[in-house]
Amino acid sequence: MMTTKTTIRVNIPQDAYDVRIAPGGLDYLGAWLSAEGTPLVKPGQKVLVVSNPVVFELYGERAIASLTQAGYQVCQCILPAGEQYKNMASIEKIHDAAYENRLERSSAMVALGGGVIGDMTGFAAATWLRGIAVVQVPTSLLAMVDASMGGKTGVNHPKGKNLIGAFHQPRMVLIDPQVLETLPVREFRAGVAEVIKYGVIWDEPLFEALEAANRLDDFTEVSDDLLQTMLKHSCQAKADVVSQDVKEAGIRAILNYGHTVGHAVESLTGYSKINHGEAVAIGMVAAARIAEAMNESDWDGAATARQQVLLEKTQLPTQLPDGINIDEILVALKSDKKVSEGKVRFVLPKKLGEAFVTDQVSDEGARRVLKAIVTE
């Protein structure tokens, strides 16, 4: 297991914070939060740890021991695992725990889990007493490289994913790569989908490092060096982008590469059959092919093929699931929150390491590409 520690600064004015990548770092959670002289959360304060039963069973004790040792009064709220629980009822449960434990303005919440726990804890913290501190301790690769950073928090509405939410930056993000040892392989691959995304939209050397790897489909087959590169480059890419555009008024939208079709696929398959990373993988195939067909950039068939090789090496799906209705996808695209003035915004690659946003993709163009990637 790699031993190198890295800290990446997310330079958001008034809200800057560190992303610490540190093997074994879970045991230093309390110490880093209470750092002498400049504590991120004052020792003695209440800290509500929010997690799910699976993650809490594995890592709850260590997180709580570390926080208690640093002098915090620790309480906990355990929510059922799964995207289907990412709703307002769960937020109410976190707020109930905050009320019962008398969390104050100077208290904090710690999200110990994957993207669902991170998004919900962030939103509960953003809204409790009009905003208290949140610390993100992501335990899935996907949450490490994407969801835990950048301050997007929220829950799903019955009519659509992440429709309810707020921007609320964490005080710290603590990434302990050792916890990936217990991550189910399918979840690991979902995280790699987002890493490939950064390679395509921002970081060509990252893309090339992924190309050089023999395998990307299993954590145990990925070298320490490569894992370090994946985490460091992905987090740096996200930090670079969000610090330029915190509220997604412009460039931040490129982080949604693969997510336009991806969100539609997730919602049409009921958020259960296909996970987020898998849906994004299919969405990246669609976006790459649309870019190729539109012929408005340097992106060509060879680049689409290189992306395809990486997705296949990760054993991610690259075709739309059998039985999915293309008309329904086109309707779903228009109800996504990324729609502006009725036009669907696609993120398309320009060349390896660069992407742009466009609302010029015709329904016909999208339909042609989607038809071409239906499972035969």
Residue 152 falls in the annotated catalytic set:
yes
Residue 337 falls in the annotated catalytic set:
no
Catalytic entry in 46, 93, 152, 171? 152
Q: Which of 25, 26, 145, 146 touches ligand GLY (CB under 6 A)?
A: 146
State whether the Cα torsion 198-114-166-277 is positive or negative.
positive
Q: Is 115 in the site for ligand GLY (CB under 6 A)?
A: no
| Choice between 66 and 148, CB closer to ligand GLY | 148
Q: Which of 152, 168, 232, 263 touches ligand GLY (CB under 6 A)?
A: 152
Task: Name the residue whose CB lies closest to ligand GLY.
Answer: 255
Residue 276 falls in the annotated catalytic set:
yes
Stated as kind and residue range, the H or E segment containing 18 is strand 17-21
Assigned token pair, 27: 């045991």
| Choice between 107 and 121, CB closer to ligand GLY | 121
Q: Which stretch binds ligand GLY (CB under 6 A): 79-87, 145-153, 335-343, 349-357?
A: 145-153
Report how many residues bind ligand GLY under the rule CB under 6 A.
6
Residue 119 CA to residue 74 CA, distance in Å, equals 20
Q: Is 336 in the site for ligand GLY (CB under 6 A)?
A: no
**299 Rama sector, left if φ>0, alpha if ψ -120 to 50, beta otherwise:** beta
CA proximity to 374, closest of 332, 333, 317, 335:
317
Residue 194 falls in the annotated catalytic set:
yes
Residue 358 CA to residue 143 CA, distance in Å, equals 27
Catalytic entry in 86, 252, 338, 345? 252
| Choice between 146 and 176, CB closer to ligand GLY | 146
> Could you tell me which residues come within 8 angstroms of residue 32 by beta carbon, excluding any fewer than 6 positions away?
20, 25, 40, 172, 174
Question: Beta-strand (E) ranges in 52-142?
Answer: 73-78, 108-113, 133-138
Residue 252 falls in the annotated catalytic set:
yes
**What is the residue type of 212?**
A
Q: Is 349 in the site for ligand GLY (CB under 6 A)?
A: no
Q: Which of 161, 168, 252, 263 touches ligand GLY (CB under 6 A)?
A: 252
Q: Which of 78, 255, 329, 333 touches ligand GLY (CB under 6 A)?
A: 255
Residue 266 falls in the annotated catalytic set:
no
| Choice between 52 and 169, CB closer to ligand GLY | 169
- The nearest distance, CB 50 to ligand GLY, in angstroms, is 20
Q: Is 173 in the site for ligand GLY (CB under 6 A)?
A: no
* Torsion angle of C-alpha atoms 103, 65, 234, 94, degrees rounded to 10: -30
Q: Is 263 in the site for ligand GLY (CB under 6 A)?
A: no
Residue 86 CA to residue 116 CA, distance in Å, equals 6
Residue 144 CA to residue 237 CA, distance in Å, equals 13
Residue 20 falls in the annotated catalytic set:
no
- The nearest distance, CB 259 to ligand GLY, in angstroms, is 7
Scored b (16 or more CB within 10 A) or e, 263-300 reads bbbbbbbebeebbbbbbbbbbbbbbbbbbbbbeebebe
User: Is residue 267 within 8 Å of 35, Cβ to Cβ?
Assistant: no
Residue 263 falls in the annotated catalytic set:
yes
Q: Which stretch binds ligand GLY (CB under 6 A): 160-168, 185-193, 248-256, 296-304?
A: 248-256
Q: Which stretch binds ligand GLY (CB under 6 A): 73-81, 161-169, 251-259, 261-269?
A: 251-259
Backbone φ and ψ of 164, nearest 5° = -110, 130
| Choice between 30 and 118, CB closer to ligand GLY | 118
User: Is residue 175 within 8 Å of 25, Cβ to Cβ?
Assistant: yes
| Choice between 146 and 266, CB closer to ligand GLY | 146
Binding site for ligand GLY (CB under 6 A): 146, 150, 152, 252, 255-256
* Residues classed as catalytic: 130, 152, 194, 238, 248, 252, 256, 259, 263, 276
